[in-house]
Structure 1
Amino acid sequence: MDIAGFPGVVGVIDGTHVRIIAPSEDEAVFVNRKNFHSINVQIVFNAAWKILDIVAKWPGSTHDARMLSESGIRQLFERRYVPANCHLLGDSGYPCKPWLLTPYLQPRQGPQLNYNRAHKTTRAVVERGIGQLKRHFHVLHGEVRLRPEKVSKVIIACAILHNICKVRQIAEPLEDGDEDEDGDNDEDGGMLTEQVLRMGMVFDPPGYPE
């Protein structure tokens, strides 16, 4: 709410790609739309750039909307484990839902344009958060030379360490203005240990804009 006056936002969601070497099995499905092999990662940040949810198992060719549709975070909202007045913000690559608000594609002057401006400013948190994560753990910036299932574990480990850095106020490698250099604005992790859950992380737990 303090960022741009957008009420009821509990998180911002986006996908980002982590480059991998060509796997020996199902190689083609790991080739993303930018024509390199990757794991597509769905990630949700709060206003303090802390990771609330991460899914890091899908091949690079998977669309963000599909990752969302099969994720636990969708179930949390649609089964009403989250209050109805709480929602996420996502880009136009996601479907608009009562709990997931996307921008107007052709906004009219007035409230719709104001909505889009507040939406863009608030959603920038996820771009900066992904940039922070990748800058802090440079392994996610380059080509990870492991099998896809091991890459997924590396990504999750980096996410946990990112939150530990936030909780302990460990200095960022760059300023908060850093954004995801991949420019992925277009999708299961397992249950976490009790200690990590106490830190506030959740990994894949079980009126619209016109």
Structure 2
Amino acid sequence: MAQQQPQPRRVRTFRPRRNVLDELGDTELIKRYRLDRAGIMYVTEMLRGALESPTSRTMAISPEMKVVITLRYLATGKMQLCNGDDLGPSQPSVSRVIAQTVELLASPAIATRFIKFPRTRQEIQRRQNEFMAISNFPGIVETIDGTHIRIVAPKEYEEEYVNRKNYHSINTQIVFDAKYKILDVVANWPGSTHDARILRHSGLMRAFENNVIPAGCHVLGDSAYPCKRWLLTPYLHPLPGAQEAYNRAHKRTRCVVERGIGQLKRRFHVLHGEVRVSPQKTCKIILACAVLHNICKDRNIQLPEENYVVENPADDVEDGGGNEAAPAGVPNDGLRYRDYFVNLRFG
């Protein structure tokens, strides 16, 4: 019997890798990756220590390339496009790179650095003035809403992820200020969960209920949320006069959160379609997109197709009067407090 010959060792081949940071201008970088060159380098430097390869292999993927690959995926939602751009790495490498970079962006150390509620009196006052400039609604520091991020049907607890529109999703609670910057995001609840339940278990509610947030600060939400002293919802059947005026101002001001969610999903199309990873990984993708959205806001990086910007002359607006503590005798019940607030501010 003839002795079997050993198989020759397969030689790995590497495709050449593009340096898109040198090849493309800022306009094209923003179009394809949602950040300009300076923004991409800012994110890279922030994550460099964790993204650098622990080996000295010649073809190790650089931190810059890892950030570019991840941004391309988040901008399009299509992992194969990262390969289609001829960036160089193989599809398995692309998948590993995206998972690693998203994990870092969604980590508590990074997320709490870029997504945070204003704490100082000056920060709170500035946000109240910005909201006041929209529709003369006093005391508002943020607007809140829920949005569903479609996911592929999970293998476990599949029925819990089916929302009221009969598709699988992550129900995400998100909070914006008047400049469309994200102040808080909760992305860990299945699609069947009601908005009010997510709020009830959130750190945002604990902060308001435990008086961590100063008295006189208000959040605007729709009728899916319970009406509270700090969370103002619209009247379902407003009476003529003050209640109708309140509802009009409420609607115009609360449009901020709807536009903010629209901006987030247009900036990162991965949130627009069906995310084809596990619910746990999807939650991290949502948080990573929120971090990057705020980085874009901090660096004034606009969407390529964004043709409107709400300009609020905040510095020219006088104090809306929302920071003072409520006087004695103000009702604790949310619905009665809303009546008190409406009669005081819109009567």
TM-score by structure 1 length?
Answer: 0.84
Q: Which amino acid aligns with 2:307?
A: E
Any residues of structure 2 matched to 1:136-175 within 5 Å, and which?
A: 136-172=267-303, 173-175=305-307
Partners of 1:94 and 1:84 in 2: how far apart? 20
Aligned to 2:327: none
> What is the 5 A alignment of 1:2-81?
2-81=133-212
Q: Hey, what's the Cα distance between the residues in 1 that align with 2:252 and 2:177?
A: 14
Q: Are 2:265 and 1:134 equivalent residues in the alignment? A: yes
Distance (whole Å) between structure 2 residues aligned to residue 209 and residue 148 of structure 1: 41
Higher strand share: 1
Larger fraction in helix: 2
SS in structure 2 opposite 1:2? helix
| Same amino acid, percent of matched pairs | 64
Distance 2:147 2:205 in 1: 18
- 1 CA distance for matches of 2:285 and 2:193? 19
Q: Does 1:98 align with 2:221?
A: no
CA apart distance, 1:96: 0.1
Q: 2:249 is matched with which residue?
A: 118
1:21-44 deviation digits (Å, cap 9, x = unpaired)? 000000000000000000000000
Provide the secondary structure at the position in 2 that maps to 1:153: helix
Larger Rg: 2
Q: CA deviation at 1:171?
A: 1.2
**Residue aligning to 1:109:** 240
1:131 and 1:15 mapped to 2: Cα distance?
12
Q: Which amino acid aligns with 2:139?
A: G
Deviations 1:53-98 (A, max 9, x none): 0000000000000000000000000000111100100000100000
Q: Residues of 2 paired with 1:166 and 1:64: CA distance?
A: 26
The alignment yields a C-alpha RMSD, in angstroms, of 1.3
- For these two proteins, the number of residue pairs brought into alignment is 182
Q: Which runs of 4+ in 1 moved over 4 A?
A: none
Q: Which segments of 5 or more consecutive residues in structure 1 lack a partner in the other structure?
A: 179-206
CA-to-aligned-CA distance 1:98-153 (integer Å, 9 cap, x gap) = 00000011001100000000000000000000000000000000000000000000
Unaligned runs of 5+ in 2: 1-131, 311-336, 341-347
1:29 to 1:176, Cα distance in 2 relative to 1, 3 A:
farther
CA distance in structure 2 between the aligned counterparts of 1:209 and 1:137, rounded to whole angstroms: 40
